[in-house]
Amino acid sequence: MSMFDDFDDDLIDELEGEPAATANHLVPPRQMTDCIGHSAVEEKLLGLIDSGKMPHALIFSGQNGIGKATLAFRLARYLFKHGVESGQSGDGGLFGDDLPKETHDNLSIDPADPVFSQVASGGHADLLVIERLFDEKKNRYKGSVEVDEVRKITPFMRKTASQGGWRIVIVDDADTMNRNAQNAILKILEEPPANALLVLVCHRLGTMIPTIRSRCRVIDFQPLSADDFGTLIKRDHGNLPQSDIDAVYAIAGGSVGRALQIIEEGGLEAVSKVMGLLHSWPEWQWSQIHVLADGMSRPGQENSLQAFQDVMLWVVESLLRAQARGIAPPRALDNEVTQKLLAHFSLHDWIEIASQLKEHFDTVQHANLDKRHAVLGAFSLFKEAA
């Protein structure tokens, strides 16, 4: 399992209680004032709203850490603000007249509006957010959304909206729900109440049972472009060199959420160390590799070791793809040493190295082996392949 698997669109959950910030910083999704990179999705949602065809349930599907939860909160704020305009009855149903009559260019509302602050602080009475709970004993978020949390959805959605508009439920990491948890929301999907919306934020659509997928409108989110990714990363890391932005974009696959964790856990330093050592190939500088292994095996260096593993996997998998497709590697890896590696190892060699490297890191983790072995064994694989 990658160090990024547990990191979701909730960029920095511990900031949850802070007031809404400006668009100049990355904050938790419920506090973001904009949503860069998904204007096409926003246009589609506005079209559904303006045409009176907003479904009772949506699945926001796509890579984690790219802004799906941000747009879910953005949609919720818009519906709370504009969902029932003055003069409307408020009882027209999901496909009736309770949708906005006034058209807007996007889903944004003024950050100074009370609706914005209510959603940002978690204090809006008509919004329920279901997410993975924090495990105090293990000091981390649990691996799945629990069924007891999911069972809160149906009674919440059946209540009358306290402010006369919509009742909205956002389920983050919805793809982590087990079968029982997913079954717990089927009833509300089969008999949806009026003016109620369920948004499932999902990173792996295939894990959702077919009966849920068939009852929801799936909205696909595309990965962020390099430019949009760079714009967002620079909000928190304005001094980051472009070469580092290119590297973290490639490692994270365009996910801002993953990129932030890479940076915070020393991933860029790991890139520098790994690339420095790769330059000694084919005669590895084992004295330097041992120094790196010793440093990463010390207590408190778990994050650095995990960063090393993910960077090594990224390097090997990137070179494997380059060899298989006959293309240049990512810009951050396109240099003299990687060209020599590509010329030396065949496609079969790269497949073997990639497979063995994954197996090696899994073995070190699950067999609780000496952490030094994670580093030493990784470089040994190249020698064995040669």
Q: How far apart are the first and last CA of the chain?
A: 27
User: End of a domain among 185, 220, 255?
Assistant: 220
327 vs 17, residue with greater confidence: 327
Tell me what pLDDT residue 385 has. Answer: 67
Kind and range of the H or E element at 202? strand 196-202
Kind and range of the H or E element at 68? helix 68-82
- Average pLDDT of the segment spanning 153-164: 90
Whether 138 and 39 map to the same domain: the answer is yes
Whether 111 and 185 map to the same domain: the answer is yes
362 vs 9, residue with greater confidence: 362
Whether 145 and 212 map to the same domain: the answer is yes
Q: Is the pLDDT of residue 8 over 90?
A: no
Query: Residue 132 falls within a domain, yes or no?
Result: yes
**66-116 per-position pLDDT tens digit:** 999 999 999 999 999 987 542 333 444 444 444 545 678 899 999 999 999
Q: Which of the four pLDDT bands, split at 50, 70 and 90, describes residue 20?
A: very low
Tell me what pLDDT residue 357 has. Answer: 95
Tell me what pLDDT residue 332 has. Answer: 77
Whether 206 and 307 map to the same domain: the answer is no
Q: Which of the four pLDDT bands, split at 50, 70 and 90, describes residue 122?
A: very high
Query: Residue 227 falls within a domain, yes or no?
Result: no
**167-204 per-position pLDDT tens digit:** 999 999 999 999 999 999 998 999 999 889 999 999 99
Q: Is the pLDDT of residue 18 over 50?
A: no
Query: Residue 243 falls within a domain, yes or no?
Result: no
* pTM given for the model: 0.78
Whether 30 and 159 map to the same domain: the answer is yes
In the chain, pLDDT over 70 holds for what percent of residues?
88
- Average pLDDT of the segment spanning 153-163: 91
CATH of the domain at 98: 3.40.50.300
Whether 198 and 317 map to the same domain: the answer is no
Q: Is the pLDDT of residue 24 over 70?
A: no
Q: What is the distance between the alpha carbons of residues 119 and 128, in angstroms, rounded to a whole number?
A: 10
Tell me, what DSSP letter sits at residue 223?
P
Q: What is the distance between the alpha carbons of residues 11 and 232, in angstroms, rounded to a whole number?
A: 12
Please list, in sequence order, all residues whose beta carbon lies within 8 angstroms of the beta carbon of residue 110, skipping any fewer than 6 positions away: 116
User: End of a domain among 197, 220, 243?
Assistant: 220
CA-nearest of 32, 75, 71 to 54 is: 75
Whether 205 and 304 map to the same domain: the answer is no
153 vs 369, residue with greater confidence: 153
Whether 147 and 84 map to the same domain: the answer is yes
Whether 146 and 216 map to the same domain: the answer is yes
Q: Is the pLDDT of residue 6 over 60?
A: no
Query: Residue 29 falls within a domain, yes or no?
Result: yes
Query: Residue 246 falls within a domain, yes or no?
Result: no
Tell me what pLDDT residue 91 has. Answer: 43
Tell me what pLDDT residue 199 has. Answer: 98
Please list, in sequence order, all residues whose beta carbon lies within 8 angstroms of the beta carbon of residue 116, skipping any fewer than 6 positions away: 20, 33, 77, 109, 110
Query: Residue 129 falls within a domain, yes or no?
Result: yes
Query: Residue 6 falls within a domain, yes or no?
Result: no
In the chain, pLDDT over 90 holds for what percent of residues?
55
**272-322 per-position pLDDT tens digit:** 888 888 888 888 899 999 999 998 888 877 778 888 888 899 999 999 999
Whether 174 and 284 map to the same domain: the answer is no
Whether 184 and 332 map to the same domain: the answer is no
Tell me what pLDDT residue 105 has. Answer: 85
Question: If you average pLDDT over every residue of the chain, what do you get?
Answer: 85
Q: Is the pLDDT of residue 29 over 80?
A: yes
Whether 207 and 330 map to the same domain: the answer is no
343 vs 330, residue with greater confidence: 343
Tell me what pLDDT residue 84 has. Answer: 59
Query: Residue 332 falls within a domain, yes or no?
Result: yes
Domain membership of residue 193 as a residue range:
13-220
Q: How many domains are there within the chain? A: 2
